Amino acid sequence: MAEKSHDPWQSAMDHAVAVARKAGEMVRAALQVKDGCSPVQTKSSAVDLVTETDQEVERLIIQSVKSKFPSHRFIGEESVSSGEPCVLTTAPTWIIDPIDGTTNFVHGYPFVGVCIGFAVNQQVEWGVVYSAIEDKMYTARRGGGAFCNGRPLQVSPQTDVHRAMAATEFGSNRDPDVVDKIFSSLRKVLSLPVHGVRGAGSAALNMCAVASGAVEVYYETGIHVWDVAAASVIVTEAGGVLFDTTGGAVDLMSRRIVAANNKTIATRIIEQLDVYRPERDDHGAPDGAQDGAPQ
C-alpha cells in the first residue's frame, strides 16, 4: 500500500503534482507542432471540442495512477465521453480533467488547466490544478491551506459587490433558452454594477483566480464535476465559499456553481442569477434544491 498511515493521501497528492507537471509538458509540446491542438471531434454540441491531446493526457494520468494506486477509481472527462460511468462512490476516486479550457487550447489562448481532484467518502480531499502555459501549480489539501507554486493563497477581503470583479463563462450549450438565461443573468450582474466581468475560458482557472484574490466571484451553469472538483478545495482552503446557483449547498454533480470570496458577495450574485438545471453528471434524479438565499 502506497499510503502512509498518519497521512494516508499525501503520497497520492504528490503523485498528482508530478503527473500534472508531465501533462503540462505534453500540452505545451502540442501547442508547438502543426495540428497539435486541432479538434478531432465534438461532443455535446458543435462547439464542445476534443483533441488528441485531451485523450492522450487523460491516458497518461490514469495509467500512471493505476500503476501506483491500483485500487483507486476514476472519473475522467474523456473516459466518461467514451461511455465510462460518472459515479462518485465512497471509494478513493481521482477526478480528472486532462485539459480544462480545450477551446482555449485549440485557439492558442493561454489559459489551460490540468485538473486532478481526489475524493474519499464523496468529499474532495485535495486538488491540483496546473496552469500549463503560465506554469502555475495550484494545490490544496483539505485542512492544509491552498498554494500557488508553494506560495499561500488567500481570497479577496472585499465585501462590497460594487467593488467586486466577477467571472463567468458562456459554456458550449447554444440552446436559445440557455443563452437567454446566461445573458439575462449577466445583464443583472453587470448592472449591480460590479467593476467588471471576466472569463479565463477555464472553470478551474476562474476558481483559482477567486482563490488568488484576483476576482471575488465566479459563477457558471453547465460545468462538469471534472472542471471544478480539484479547484473546489483550492477555493475553500484559500478562505472562499461554494454554493449552488440556487443558493443551496454546492453539489459537484449538479453542474451549477458559485465560488466566491465570502457569503456576502456570493449572496448578491446569486440574487441576480436565472437558475436552470442541466442534466446532472451522474444522470441522477433532478435535485430538490430550492431557490433562495445561501444557507
Catalytically annotated residue among 61, 62, 95, 99: 99
Q: Which of 94, 36, 82, 27 is nearest to 57 (CA)?
A: 27
Catalytically annotated residue among 58, 227, 237, 281: 227
The one of Ca ion, ligand IPD, none whose footprint includes residue 227, by CB under 5 to 8 A per kind, is ligand IPD
CB 156 within 8 Å of CB 216 = yes
Whichever of 101 and 239 has its CB closer to ligand IPD, that residue is 101
CA distance 79 to 73: 12
CB 284 within 8 Å of CB 253 = yes
Q: Where are the alpha helices (DSSP H) in 169-214?
A: 176-191, 203-212
Residues at the site binding ligand IPD, with contacts judged by CB under 6 A: 77, 97, 100-102, 169, 171, 201-203, 220, 222-224, 227
How near is the Cβ of 257 to ligand IPD at its closest, in Å? 10
Rounded-to-10 torsion of CA 40, 42, 43, 45:
170
In this structure, are strands 136-141 and 113-120 parallel, antiparallel, or unpaired?
unpaired
Query: Which SS3 state, helix, strand or coil, does residue 180 take?
Result: helix
How near is the Cβ of 78 to Ca ion at its closest, in Å? 8
How near is the Cβ of 182 to ligand IPD at its closest, in Å? 10
Sheet with 256-260, strands from edge to edge, namely 196-198, 165-168, 217-221, 256-260, 241-243
The one of ligand IPD, Ca ion, none whose footprint includes residue 281, by CB under 5 to 8 A per kind, is none
77 flagged as catalytic:
yes
Options 77, 169, 216, 237; binder of Ca ion; rule CB under 5 A: 77
CB 139 within 8 Å of CB 125 = no
Catalytically annotated residue among 54, 58, 77, 244: 77
180 flagged as catalytic:
no
In this structure, are strands 165-168 and 151-152 parallel, antiparallel, or unpaired?
unpaired
The one of ligand IPD, Ca ion, none whose footprint includes residue 171, by CB under 5 to 8 A per kind, is ligand IPD
The one of ligand IPD, Ca ion, none whose footprint includes residue 261, by CB under 5 to 8 A per kind, is none
Whichever of 69 and 101 has its CB closer to ligand IPD, that residue is 101
Region near Ca ion per CB under 5 A, out of 102-110, 229-237, 249-257, 269-277: 102-110
Catalytically annotated residue among 54, 100, 169, 216: 100
Whichever of 43 and 136 has its CB closer to Ca ion, that residue is 43
Q: Which of 41, 43, 44, 63 is nearest to 53 (CA)?
A: 41
How near is the Cβ of 100 to ligand IPD at its closest, in Å? 4
The one of Ca ion, ligand IPD, none whose footprint includes residue 201, by CB under 5 to 8 A per kind, is ligand IPD
| First and final C-alpha spacing in the chain | 40
169 binds Ca ion (CB under 5 A): no
Report the largest interatomic distance among the alpha carbons of the chain, rounded to a whole angstrom: 55
97 flagged as catalytic:
yes
**Site residues, Ca ion (CB under 5 A):** 77, 97, 99, 102
| Catalytic residue numbers, as ranges | 77, 97, 99-100, 102, 227
